[in-house]
């Protein structure tokens, strides 16, 4: 075989790393469950869309419209699942391959840099592409109804595939540069979710209608930066249309960016992925551990040299487990910058929002949308961070053998679990303060009547949903949120930490415990939130109390109460506002009680569970 052909084959088709990942992953039950669950969700959504759109005898036009609606639902779901599952499949590249010992072994093999990078990239990306191709028959069935051109199907697949490629390239880059480890897996996941939320929210803010009072909006600068926005151009072009530069002069960059957002998104993903792959290839053998000297940026934060064998003594509290989780966990440069950078950015964003509202740049509707988006994203990040840290707290110690050493000490299961819970909660306090401070700034501004803002801070003659009544005057955002939101958020985060600890004790590895904990909290909170929304608009004051079941529900009832707790407002506005605070206090007590009961159960079964999983990894 010619040498050049053998070199090309070793890049991908016969790449040993790619073959190892594909063959090994194909035998894992977890991957089988993920693939089966993916197809099951897609089939169920398609069936429900079919039942909801096809009823009785329909004309050909109605059948075509039903097929288009089904295709729209399944396409959005597919992109969402791909963005959700790609970080899960790529978590191994960050958590396992980022281990310096793994790379040291790979660097001793005859493989060159490009083969190592491409093997890790496409070996793990293979499973995502397999998921995409497995759902192709479902999309083909929508063509039997008409209204779904084949070009749209392949365009939606291009958007989903390019999204997966970009996320995979970022994960492999983090692994190659050794800047990430198991603790960064969930941070990587959170960054993906945050990026999608921020770009979508920014697009909503800067959309401009085509013509005065029109319902058709033009694409924005952020459209090619978000897969959901690019998909919206494809599926909803009659209401979200690209720019038309016919008869106008525009550079090819502007024309490409605004007039062809789908192609721009795909080319951006491909270009950034190629750049990251080349960067990883060049830096693979360069980056090494530098020990001994202390860089200036680490001295600023009171940190020693990376990999140093000794450090200054630290004062430990009564519970060493709590101290270790709240203090020792955060004594890295990355953790310090991430945590306090999040706090600084959150406060700066809150002040900027109120400043823009004060000068009139943001109108009432824009303020509500911006506050709901920012505070909601902050609370989701805090909850996901709590789940990630708690779900890896015990499983990580089991994997590296630290738990076996801890069990030889006099510490008992009760203080151990309590220390974990308290330490993680204390560590998250600065992050929890961000949405609380944001709501406090908004409340102070509204209670001070906007410091003389032109137009004031109250809405007049607000229509109540599902009613002909109107509210004569209502604050643009209820200032009671500054009291109600902290009441619910803090115990809810404590509940998330306890759920994560529960699965961390029961699971063999960190990845499985994180996925299980997130799934349980999302399922439980989702069901309770849906029940709260249903009761909030139909049970008067009791509905306002029940709607405070989760921080997200409470946030919506604070930001737009006339749509969420409309029955309570119609009966008595002042009582409805007080009911939200009372409901927050009640649910805070219930979350605290649930944490106590879970701690009691975990303390009772701790030793049996730990012994059963002893020696596993």
How much is the pLDDT for 374?
92
How much is the pLDDT for 302?
55
Q: Indicate the SS3 state at residue 56.
A: coil
Encoded tokens for 124: 């793990």
Average predicted confidence (pLDDT) for the chain:
80
Q: Are 12 and 19 within 8 A, CB to CB?
A: no
Q: How far apart are CA 135 and CA 143, in angstroms?
A: 14
How much is the pLDDT for 353?
92
- Furthest C-alpha separation in the chain: 84
Q: How far apart are CA 484 and CA 490, in angstroms?
A: 11
How much is the pLDDT for 99?
53
pLDDT of residue 56 exceeding 70: no
pLDDT of residue 595 exceeding 60: yes
The DSSP line for 192-232 is HHHHHHHHHHHHHHH--BSSTT-S-EE--TTGGG-HHHHHH
How much is the pLDDT for 288?
44
Pairing state of beta strands 470-475 and 458-463? Answer: antiparallel
pLDDT of residue 143 exceeding 80: no
Rounded mean pLDDT, 476-484: 91
How much is the pLDDT for 603?
85
Confidence at 308, pLDDT banded by 50, 70, 90: low
pLDDT of residue 291 exceeding 50: no
Q: For residue range 234-277, what is the model confidence (pLDDT) as tens digits?
A: 888 888 888 887 777 777 888 888 888 999 999 999 999 999 88
Confidence at 489, pLDDT banded by 50, 70, 90: very high
Distance set, CA 316 to CA 88, 281, 322, 396 (Å): 36, 44, 9, 22
How much is the pLDDT for 179?
52
Confidence at 290, pLDDT banded by 50, 70, 90: very low
Q: Are 188 and 178 within 8 A, CB to CB?
A: no
How much is the pLDDT for 349?
92
Provide the whole-model pTM: 0.57
How much is the pLDDT for 435?
93
Mention every residue, 6+ apart, whose C-beta is less than 8 A from residue 354: 441, 442, 445
Which DSSP state fits 70?
Answer: H
Q: For residue range 380-397, what is the model confidence (pLDDT) as tens digits?
A: 999 988 888 888 888 777
Which DSSP state fits 464?
Answer: P
CA angle 345, 349, 354 (to 5 degrees): 155
């Amino acid at each position: 075989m010619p040498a050049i052909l053998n070199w090309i084959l070793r890049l991908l088709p016969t790449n040993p790393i790619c073959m190892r990942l594909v063959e090994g992953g194909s035998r894992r039950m977890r991957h089988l469950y993920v693939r089966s669950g993916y197809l099951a969700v897609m089939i169920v959504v398609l069936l429900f869309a079919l039942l909801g759109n096809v009823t009785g005898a329909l004309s050909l036009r109605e059948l075509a419209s039903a097929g288009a609606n089904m295709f729209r639902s399944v396409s959005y779901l597919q992109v969402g699942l791909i963005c959700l599952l790609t970080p899960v499949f790529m978590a191994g590249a960050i958590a396992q391959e980022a281990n310096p010992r793994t790379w040291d072994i790979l660097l001793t093999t005859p493989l060159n840099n490009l083969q190592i990078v491409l093997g890790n990239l496409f070996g793990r990306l293979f499973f995502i592409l397999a998921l995409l191709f497995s759902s192709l028959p479902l999309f083909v069935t929508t063509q039997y109804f008409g209204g779904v051109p084949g070009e749209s199907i392949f365009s939606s697949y291009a958007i989903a595939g390019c999204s997966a490629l970009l996320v995979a390239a970022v994960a492999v880059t983090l692994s190659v540069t050794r800047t990430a480890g198991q603790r960064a897996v969930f941070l990587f996941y959170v960054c993906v979710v945050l990026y999608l939320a921020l770009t979508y929210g920014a697009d909503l803010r800067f959309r401009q209608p085509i013509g005065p009072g029109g319902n058709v909006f033009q694409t924005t600068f952020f459209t090619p930066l978000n897969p959901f926005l690019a998909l919206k151009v494809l599926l909803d072009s009659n209401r979200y249309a690209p720019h038309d530069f016919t008869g106008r002069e525009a550079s090819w960059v502007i024309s490409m960016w605004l007039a062809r957002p789908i192609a721009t998104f795909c080319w951006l993903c491909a270009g950034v992925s190629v750049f990251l792959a080349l960067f990883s290839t060049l830096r693979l053998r360069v980056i090494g551990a530098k020990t001994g000297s202390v860089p200036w940026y680490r001295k600023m934060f009171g940190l020693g040299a990376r990999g140093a064998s000794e450090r200054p003594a630290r004062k430990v509290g009564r519970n060493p487990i709590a101290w270790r989780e709240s203090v020792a966990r955060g004594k890295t440069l990355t953790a310090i910058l991430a945590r306090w950078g999040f706090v600084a950015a959150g406060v700066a964003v809150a002040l900027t929002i109120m400043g823009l509202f004060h000068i009139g740049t943001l109108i009432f509707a824009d303020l509500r949308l911006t506050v709901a988006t920012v505070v909601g994203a902050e609370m989701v990040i805090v909850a996901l961070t709590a789940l990630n840290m708690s779900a890896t707290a015990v499983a990580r110690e089991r994997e590296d053998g630290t738990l076996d050493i801890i069990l030889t000490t006099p510490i008992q299961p009760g203080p151990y679990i309590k220390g974990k819970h308290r330490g993680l909660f204390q560590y998250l306090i600065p992050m929890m303060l961000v949405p609380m401070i944001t709501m406090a700034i908004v409340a102070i501004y509204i209670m001070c009547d906007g410091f003389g803002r032109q137009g004031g801070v109250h809405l007049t003659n607000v229509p109540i949903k599902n009613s002909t009544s109107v509210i004569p005057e209502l604050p643009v955002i209820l200032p009671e949120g500054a009291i109600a939101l902290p009441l619910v958020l803090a115990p809810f985060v404590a509940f998330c930490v306890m759920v994560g600890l529960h699965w961390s004790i029961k699971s063999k590895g960190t990845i499985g415990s994180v996925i299980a904990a997130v799934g349980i909290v999302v399922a439980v909170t989702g069901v309770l939130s849906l029940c709260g929304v249903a009761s909030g608009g139909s049970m008067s004051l009791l509905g306002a109390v029940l709607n405070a079941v989760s921080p997200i529900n409470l946030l919506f009832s604070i930001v737009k109460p006339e749509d969420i707790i409309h029955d309570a407002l119609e009966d008595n506005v002042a009582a409805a506002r007080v009911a939200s605070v009372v409901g927050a206090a009640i649910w805070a007590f219930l979350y605290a009680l649930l944490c106590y009961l879970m701690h009691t159960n975990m303390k009772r079964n701790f030793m049996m569970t730990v012994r059963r999983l002893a020696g596993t990894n």
